[in-house]
Structure 1
Amino acid sequence: MKDEYIKQINILQSNFNILVAKKFENQLDNELTAKQVLLLELIKEGVTSTKDIANKLNVSTSAVSQILNKLEDREYIERNFNPQNRREIILNLADKAHQYFKDLAALKYQINKNIYENLSSEDLKQLKNILEKLLTIATDSDLSN
């Protein structure tokens, strides 16, 4: 019985994500690929070297460098020398990336407000509790099994 519920939940999640993406796709920045956004997210979180990004993603530094080159060309990142070690380059988000994240946060808020405002307070409370449980399960368990 649980397997059937899980299958239905997966289908519902997928359909929900597709509908939301279609509804708001004209407001999204389609200039960036998923990998580029992932690298920007890592830099935003404080991962500031090519080597550290490569280690975190388990890919080669040359693969990361290629993506970073495109991000730098499009003015999403800046590369600066580390003042304590001139051989090391520090990655920073440029103004365009900061604006991207600001716009993304506003869009996420708008999407969530448009959708969630149609739920009752009790439904929202239950959804919050379920999501907290799922987060705890994902955090506490080895999901590779």
Structure 2
Amino acid sequence: MRNTADSFNLEQNLGLLIHLANQFKDQLISNYFSPADITAAQFKVLISVYKGFTSPGEIRKNLMMDAGAMSRMIERMVKRDLIQRFTNPQDKRQVILALSEKGHEICRRFQHDAPTTIISQLTARLTDEESHLLAELLSKMLPENATQSPR
């Protein structure tokens, strides 16, 4: 049986390791998209729209961003022609986001090339068996619907 101090250290270390792995993944994404001048955060917005999230509120909740940061990012991405913003025909106070052709191309490129490149860099020090185990454990940690699109 683990004592409380060991349990606290494990939880603290596990939290730190998950955080560091996430930062490393974001660094790899940013490096991959640096020629297109797209950050990991911008890419996450793009891929969210690509997966069917169409309102800034949905994306903000999905990415756990604050409303101000989301609003500023969307504004920059519209100016760079990565996404398009339309008035919601059912509620003129709301907007609907869609990918521009440039945004679609970035997402298509990612779907085709990047997962292999980024995941192979992320898991370079793991064996195939360890990579499969990691995927199993991470999937087990997540809520049932965490990997599903909103529609």
* TM-score calculated relative to the size of structure 1: 0.60
| Distance in 2 between residues matched to 1:75 and 1:139, nearest whole Å | 34
String of CA shifts for 1:61-114, please: whole Å, max 9, x gaps: x32111111101111100112222333210011111111112223133356679
Matched, 1:108 2:115: yes
How many pairs are equivalent? 128
Alignment RMSD (CA, Å): 4.0
| Distance in 2 between residues matched to 1:52 and 1:139, nearest whole Å | 17
The letter of the residue matching 2:47 is E
Mark the CA change 1:124 to 1:92 in structure 2 (over 3 Å): closer, same or farther.
same
Matched, 1:127 2:105: no
SS at match of 2:57: helix
| Distance in 2 between residues matched to 1:115 and 1:65, nearest whole Å | 30
Matched, 1:73 2:79: yes
Larger Rg over CA atoms: 1
Moved over 4 A (4+): 110-116
Aligned partners of 2:84 and 2:99 also within 8 Å: yes
SS at match of 1:78: strand
Task: Using the aligned pairs only, state the percent identity.
Answer: 22
String of CA shifts for 1:30-80, please: whole Å, max 9, x gaps: 4112221222222223222223333442512x3211111110111110011
User: Partner of 1:143 in structure 2?
Assistant: none
| Distance in 1 between residues matched to 2:116 and 2:40, nearest whole Å | 20
User: Partner of 1:28 in structure 2?
Assistant: 33
Larger RCO (CA under 8 A, 6+ residues apart): 2
| CA deviation after TM superposition for structure 1 residue 134, in Å | 3.4
User: Partner of 2:93 in structure 1?
Assistant: 87
Matched, 1:40 2:55: no
Mark the CA change 1:139 to 1:88 in structure 2 (over 3 Å): closer, same or farther.
closer
* TM-score calculated relative to the size of structure 2: 0.58
